[in-house]
Amino acid sequence: MSLLNWQLHHDVANHHDFILKLKDFCLAQGWTIVRFYQNIQWASIGGGQFGFVAGTEDYLEVTSPGYGSQNLHFRFRMNNTLALPNNEYLEQAALLGNTALNTASGTHPITTGTGQWSNNTFRWTGIPTNPLPQVWFFGNNKFILAVIKCDADYCQFVTFGSLELYDAAQTQGNFNGQTQGGQDPWYNKGSVLPWNVNGENVYYNGARQPSANSQWSFTITTGDTLATGAFASYGRAVIKNDYSEVRTPFKQISYLKDTDTLWFALGTCWVYRINHDGLAIGEKVLYGVDEYLTFPNGRLARKIGIAMRIL
């Protein structure tokens, strides 16, 4: 049962301040900050070359060795491609350690990295441009989670790193959290938890694993009425039922189909799934001497969320 380091920030000024605090938190957990630029954009610098020049975007690139000889490597771009009011997009892509930039290409590095295993197609997180009421960070040198409270009843999630692997010598099992929704602004409130999404977010056997080969032990449907999945079992316990009112927290297990076509358990997610019905965003729940902070599945109206153990 791993405890993560955590921070809470109130009244985060804007999306620029958020990515600055994300960078600082990663650095404090032991991640290497490869590049961090604010108020820039990727553009021609002459002579057929491209690079970062003055603009309105932000860029962050981080690495960590993770478990074994894992190469945890992620790039982030804060931009507003669709020019929507009060919304910036944080694009997120996962790579394998080659931090070189392709300066011969006008395509932004978020989509052109060598060794990229998970692109930014489904990893667009809408973030308000006005002050953010609260932002929580949880993590260590293997895993990072940011929970962004956007307004009174909705929060967004940015997460990346590695699964909590059963085999600490494992060299793969990289995780790039996918919340679904594509280029969906935050105020549509359509994103779901990364741990409700099977497939496409785990790297193993040298490739991003599709949903046919990558499943959580259980996921929760958007309506929060049913625990589903190829290995649904104890996940049903987080659904309110006639037998218990206890908010039992569970970790999901990541199952992968190996090259021999047999399923095996690779590790767990770092977060706990919990029945969040009736709780506030960031509310504390006690189990004896253990303390957890709890968050909904995006909207407060959705009843099954997550809990982060803090003590």
Dump pLDDT digits (tens) for 139-159: 999 999 999 999 999 999 999
Q: What share of the chain is helix, strand, coil (3-state, %, to 5)?
A: 10, 45, 45
What pLDDT does 255 receive?
95
Q: What is the pLDDT of residue 244?
A: 64
How many beta carbons lie within 10 A of that of residue 230, not counting itself?
16
Which residue has tokens 């729940």? 285
Domain ranges of the chain: 5-309
Amino acid 222: pLDDT: 63
- Residue spans of the chain under pLDDT 50: 1
In sequence order, the 6+-apart residues with CB closer than 8 A to the CB of 200 are: 118, 122, 178, 208, 209, 210, 211, 214
pLDDT score for 233: 66
**Separation of alpha carbons 111 and 92, rounded Å:** 9
274 Cβ contact list (under 8 Å, min separation 6): 238, 247, 248, 249, 250, 285, 292, 294, 304, 305, 306, 307
H helices present in 3-152, as ranges:
15-28
Q: What is the pLDDT of residues 78-118, one digit of tens each?
A: 999 889 999 999 999 999 999 999 999 999 999 999 999 99
Distance CA 189, CA 192 (A): 9
State residue 242's pLDDT score.
Answer: 64
Q: What is the pLDDT of residue 230?
A: 73
